[in-house]
Structure 1
C-alpha cells in the first residue's frame, strides 16, 4: 500500500477502534508494528489476517508484487512485534513458516480469504506466511527484598536452563527435516527472554551492587563482558533463524550448542559471585 494511503488508514483505524468506513468499510485488518531491519525505527503496516486458533496468520503478499514487503524483512531481523486489532494491543513473536508447513497454512489462508490465491498467481515469488504468537503478559512483581531477589535470580536461571534443555531436545528430535514454526517461536521467545533478563541486570542490579561493593568491580566487569558474549551468540542464533528458507536443525545446532555452553558457564559464575552479595546486602530481620 502507498505510504499516504497507509497513514490515513492507520489514523482512521486507531480513531475508530479498528472500524473503518467509506471505501474501507467492512475491511478486517490489524496494525503490525515492526522494527526496521536496518534503521531500527518502528514502522506500522495495516494487514489483513486470518485467525488460526490462538494465533494469527498474515501473508507477505505486497499485492502480488515480485518483492517481499518491508515489514516481512523487518520481522526476519526483529521478530518481536506489536499487534493492534482495534480493541486490543499486544506484543507478539512473528515466525515465518517454511516448506510443507507454509503450504498448509497458506491453504488455510486462501480458504478464508481467496484473494490471496490471486496474489500468488501474479508472481513467481512464494508469498511468505507469518504466524503471530501472542507474548503472555507477565503478572510478575519484582521482589522488594534483596534476599528474595537472590531466590528469584536462581528461579530465573533454572527456568532458562529448562528452556535450553527443551530446545536441545527439539533440535535433536529424530526425523526433524526442517524447523517448525513452533520450534522457531520457542527459540525466538527464549532469545527475547534472555536478552530482557540480562538487560535488567546490566541496567539495575549490577550497578546497584557495584556501588554497594566497590571492591567487586572486576566481578561486574567480567559479568558485563560475559553478557556481551551471550548477546553475540544470540545474534548468531537469530541470524540463522531469519534464513527461514535454508536453515535446518543441523545448521542451527552448532550455534545453539555454543550458546548453551556459554550460558551454563555464565549462570554458574554469576550465582557464585552475585548470590552471596545479595544475601550480604539484605537487611537483618
Structure 2
C-alpha cells in the first residue's frame, strides 16, 4: 500500500495523525491518556486511501475499535469503508502493517465492550445517545 493517503478532514484529528506519523509513533500513540492507532481504509466509492486516528483495545493478538462517532445516528465513514473493503493498514506506535477487519458478532461485542468502555468510558454514553447498535471492530494482522 504505497499510494497517497488522505488524512481525516477534521482539523484536530489531522494534527494528531501528522504528529503520529512525523514522530514514527513516539508522539500521538498516547492521546488523553488512552492508546490510539492509525487506521487506513480504502474509500468504498472513491477508491482513495483514507487515514484516521482511533482509540483501540487489544484482544489477544487482535486490535479492537469502537465505531461510535460520538453516538451519532449513522456509522462513521471509516467503518462503512472497512465493511466494503476489510483489507486495511494499521500503524501502532512505530509499526505499520496490514490487517483484516471484521465486525464483532453479538457475543464477541458483549465480551469486548466492557474492556473498551474501560479505556474510554464515554462509549457507554454514546450508546445511550443513539438507537444504532454501535459496532465493535476486530482487526487481525495478516
Q: Look up the SS of the partner of 1:127 in the other structure.
A: coil
Q: 1:83 aligns with which of 55, 80, 90?
A: 90
In the alignment, structure 2 segments of 5+ residues that lack a partner are: 1-7
Q: 1:47 aligns with which of 51, 54, 76?
A: 54
Query: Are the equivalent residues in 2 in contact too, given 1:20–1:26 (CA < 8 A)?
Result: no
Query: For this pair of structures, how many residues does the alignment match?
Result: 133
- Shift of the alpha carbon at 1:8? 1.1
Residue aligning to 2:75: 68
Measured on the aligned residues, the alpha-carbon RMSD in Å equals 1.9
- Shift of the alpha carbon at 1:128? 0.3
Q: Give the distance between the partners of 2:115 and 2:35, measured in 1 at CA.
A: 17
In the alignment, structure 1 segments of 5+ residues that lack a partner are: 136-285
TM-score by length of 1: 0.44
Residue aligning to 2:39: 32
Larger Rg: 1
Q: Look up the SS of the partner of 1:105 in the other structure.
A: helix
- Shift of the alpha carbon at 1:27? 4.1
TM-score by length of 2: 0.85
| Greater relative contact order (Cα < 8 A, sep 6+) | 2
Which one has the bigger strand percentage? 2
Residue aligning to 1:15: 22
Residue aligning to 1:246: none
Which one has the bigger helix percentage? 1
Residue aligning to 1:117: 124
- Shift of the alpha carbon at 1:10? 0.7
- Shift of the alpha carbon at 1:25? 5.2
